[in-house]
Amino acid sequence: MTAPDTCPPKPLAGLRVLDFGHTVMGPCAGVILADLGADVVKIEPVDGDPTRRLPGFAAGFFATYNRNKRSIAIDLKRPEGRAVVHRLVADADIVLENFGPGTIERLGCGWDDLSAINPRLIFLAMKGYLTGPYGNRGALDEVVQMHSGLAYMTGPPGQPLRVGAPVVDILGGVFGVVAVLAALRERDRTGLGQRVSSSLFESAAFMLAPLVAGSAVIGEPLPPMPARRNSWGVYDVFGANDGGQVFIACTSDGHWRRLCDAFGFDDWRDDPRLSGNAKRCEARDWMIPELRRRLAALPLRDMLEKCEAANVACARVGRPDELTADAQMLAHGGLIPTAISAFGGGALVDIPALPVELGDARERPGLTRQPPRIGEHSAEILHAAGYDEPAVVALLAAGVVRRD
């Protein structure tokens, strides 16, 4: 699938990116750049990015983070393969990678190697840790969730629990793009590229910064979220009589009064024990069980409609697969029909688009290319880099590159 000729240029159109990313953090940075218009070339092994074959929880990673990219499959362990990358990098603006520490350097494609070929190159290295005593450690999203305290804060006391999505990987990729955009601005001024980096651990630490500050303010470690002392009187999940669940948040006195009016809680509206958020927090031990009892008599739809009519923040507790039918996601390009290779035959699944809008028209970045097959664009990329047809045929025949 290609974009219509009438589509306006995207903000990063004209930038060329070599994407060595795998799993989530690297490909996430790559797909953001690709969705915003950069020409992103995914460089993968001749047997394909291992992410293509992940089962279970990770089965959707490849399709999610590799749309709008072209693929060239190269054997980087062979000097002829490294020579191909060196030729491609001469015209590249950005290289990104999230290999373990020292891996890309051993492959002859590190910052020192590539910047010597192209001084304008911006090289994004996404690692487990930034510079420091742990700088040479490998890491994974869940490892860092445990190390940073994110898992401690998520699970009940004594039961650390990873967040139910690869949030640290994603945030590391996003911060990598932030660093790249800053480096591009600097290159506009100096004419020179630079190495920039993002990481898993420091990204998780950044997410936890307000909790670090909160611990300092109260003078003791904050308890995990399931055991926390609530900052608002009503900020909880409530069950409906038809099995559904609704999260309701009253963060002001206005919310509380409107909630009481909407649900007919006349006895609570002016109850002095519940006047003000601080008193409602003190009353949670008896108020929340009673509120659960009252609300449990209602069906899910009634609970949602009453809260929405009263302008009280609420949400049905949903599942990720239900996003494909969500009215907000269905509006204005919120979902992208994406080919999932595991299904074969080009079956499409609607997955969420990049969460930004551009310009007065509030355009959502969409799809220009489906996730590529292994080395799908190897020949065209080699031709564009100046290889003639006999040279391309020779590289394919020798197994240095692959084309599906």
The per-residue DSSP string of 1-43 comes to ----TTSPPPTTTT-EEEE---TTHHHHHHHHHHHTT-EEEEE
Give how many domains the chain has, as a whole number. 2
pLDDT of residue 345: 54
Q: Are 204 and 59 members of one domain? A: yes
Closest CA to 74 of 49, 103, 38, 110: 49
pLDDT of residue 230: 84
Task: Identify the CATH number of the domain in which residue 113 sits.
Answer: 3.40.50.10540
Q: Where are the beta strands (DSSP E) in 251-342?
A: 313-316, 335-339
Return the DSSP state at 264. Answer: T
| pLDDT, position 295 | 97
Domain boundary, last residue among 293, 320, 347: 320
Tens of pLDDT along the chain (404 residues) come to 444 444 567 999 999 999 999 999 999 999 999 999 999 999 999 999 999 999 999 999 999 999 999 999 999 999 999 999 999 999 999 999 999 999 999 999 999 999 999 999 999 999 999 999 999 998 999 999 999 999 999 999 999 999 999 999 999 999 999 999 999 999 999 999 999 999 999 999 999 999 999 999 999 999 999 988 888 999 999 999 999 999 999 999 999 999 999 999 999 998 999 999 999 999 999 999 999 999 999 999 999 999 999 999 999 999 999 999 999 999 989 999 999 875 655 689 999 999 999 998 899 999 999 999 999 999 999 999 999 999 999 999 999 999 98
Same domain, 311 and 256: yes
Q: Which domain holds residue 56?
A: 16-208+332-402
Residue 117 and residue 89 in contact, taking contact as beta carbons nearer than 8 Å: yes
Quick one: 257 and 145 in the same domain? no
Q: What is the per-residue pLDDT for 1?
A: 40
Whether 110 and 190 map to the same domain: the answer is yes
pTM: 0.93
pLDDT for 84: 98
Q: Are residues 299 and 398 in the same domain?
A: no
Residues 163 and 281 in one domain: no
pLDDT at 341: 73
Question: 230, 240, 294, 284: which is closest to 262 by C-alpha?
Answer: 294
Q: Which of helix, strand or coil describes residue 360?
A: coil
